A and B are shown apart, each in its own frame.
Chain A
């Protein structure tokens, strides 16, 4: 088992390195990753050769990662203003291709379709909902492909409708269902053991934070996709890149 602990610690360190360097531009990212992976390798091998226990090495590795996180974030921060607009601009190159926009439309429409299923759950059967949305989806794809001004206006309206419905559904689920509470509150242990209550409380708070982060990411992605489509794809991405540059 001790070797498993070391593997987990090593994997944790590697994943953190991969995660926080992901936002940096290519050359800096690869250099930083190589250097840190080399350090990690040397650290583990040296302490192993010195006869230190795998659990001891694992603890040391994890502590080195955790204590360095503020500096990792500080290293990443100045890289982002340069890399994010660059990424958006490179994204705009892809969006300029008509095929990408055509592929994007069904994706957004599918997003809307899922929301409609939520909204009309009680009034229509699943088969009806699917049929309606498949027709809507087909119409949207046809309109987007024809590039007519009136078709684009309808498409844009539909996209923004999707965003509004997405936000409404997320808020509704958060207020009415509180999905992060359900699995924990159902545990009878929570009502008996004070320690379980504490653990349950922490877990509930963590789940709530994770849920809201997920909702925020989901909504932000919807807005970005729809904004890009509204501003003719490439133009929208360039506008966003310029906005971020101004802010930073």
Chain B
């Protein structure tokens, strides 16, 4: 089944809502693994979102203008002996969409979480 033009699928909606939660806690920016952890906690899932699913969704959200991104300073990553991270941030459109998803009645119903698709 093909997705409607501009509609957000559940994983994209989860990312936006989780990003909003992180922002409310003072984390303006997040990387892929951080958002995967947040989604896992919010949905009480046993597993983190699969790599392919998560990063494809992040890519689509960025392309649609809901997220912006920047690469971490490589010096900082090298100092901590780890690969550098790509940080994402909610844009104004992303914030509006996340708020709309959070306010939708289906979001508050656990059985139908993130169901209604947003039309942009």
Q: Which A residues have a C-beta under 8 Å from some C-beta of B?
A: 13, 17, 31-32, 34-43, 45-46, 60, 63-75
Distance, CA A166 to CA B32, complexed state (A): 48
Q: Which of chain B's residues have a CB closer than 8 A to the CB of A31?
A: 86
Given pairs A35-B55, A38-B77, A46-B37, 11 additional interface contacts (CB within 8 A): A35-B85, A38-B84, A39-B32, A39-B51, A40-B51, A63-B47, A67-B52, A68-B52, A71-B52, A73-B52, A74-B56
Flag if A64 contacts B86 (CB, 8 Å).
Answer: no
Residue pair A38, B32 in contact (C-beta under 8 Å): yes
Given contacts A38-B33, A64-B47, contact A72 B52 (CB under 8 A): yes
Please give the distance in Å from B9's CB to the nearest CB on chain A: 11
Which B72-96 residues have C-beta < 8 A from chain A?
Answer: 77, 82-86
- For A71, the chain B residues whose CB sits under 8 A away are 50, 52-53, 56
List chain A residues, Cβ under 8 A from B56.
71-72, 74-75
**Residue B10 interfacial (CB < 8 Å):** no
Q: In chain A, what residue has the closest Cβ to B59? A: A75
A22 to chain B, nearest CB (A): 15
Is B115 interfacial (CB 8 A cutoff)?
no
A-B contact pairs, 21 of them (CB 8 A): A34-B71, A35-B32, A35-B86, A38-B31, A38-B32, A38-B86, A39-B31, A39-B51, A39-B54, A40-B51, A42-B33, A42-B34, A42-B82, A43-B33, A65-B50, A65-B51, A67-B50, A70-B52, A71-B53, A72-B56, A74-B52
Determine if A68 and B33 form an interchain contact, defined as CB atoms under 8 angstroms apart: no
Once the chains are docked, how many angstroms separate the CA of A105 from the CA of B71? 46
**B binding-site residues for A, Cβ under 8 Å:** 31-34, 36-37, 47-56, 59, 71, 77, 82-86
- Top 3 A-B residue pairs of the complex, sorted by shortest distance between their CB atoms: A68-B52, A68-B50, A71-B52
A42: B residues at CB distance < 8 A: 31, 33-34, 82, 85
Q: Which of B51, B59, B83 contacts A64 (CB 8 A)?
A: B51
**Complex CA distance for A66 and B82, rounded to whole angstroms:** 24
Contact across chains for A41 and B51 when beta carbons are under 8 A apart = no
The answer to whether B53 touches A68 (Cβ under 8 A) is: yes
B55 touches which of A36, A60, A66 (Cβ 8 Å): A36
Contact B52 A60 (CB under 8 A): no
Provide the bound-state CA to CA distance between A41 and B33, in Å.
9
A72 and B55 CA atoms in complex are apart in Å by 9
Assembly CA distance A36 to B34 (angstroms) = 13
Instruction: List the A side residues contacting B49 at CB < 8 Å.
Output: 64
A15→B98 CA distance, assembly (Å): 35
- B83 with A34: CB separation less than 8 A: yes
Complex CA gap A69/B55 in Å reads 12
Please name all residues of chain B whose beta carbon is closer than 8 Å to the beta carbon of A67 when the two chains form the complex. 47, 50, 52-53
Is the Cβ of A75 less than 8 Å from the Cβ of B51? Answer: no
Interface contact A39-B33, CB-CB below 8 Å: yes
- Docked Cα-Cα span, A144 to B109, in Å, equals 74
**Known A32-B55, A34-B84, A38-B85; contact A64-B48, beta-carbon cutoff 8 A:** yes
Q: Whole-angstrom distance between the alpha carbons of A71 and B86 in the complex?
A: 19
User: A60 with B86: in contact, given A32-B55, A71-B53 (CB under 8 Å)?
Assistant: no
By a CB distance below 8 angstroms, the chain A residues around B55 are 32, 35-36, 39, 75
A41 and B83 contact, CB distance less than 8 A: yes
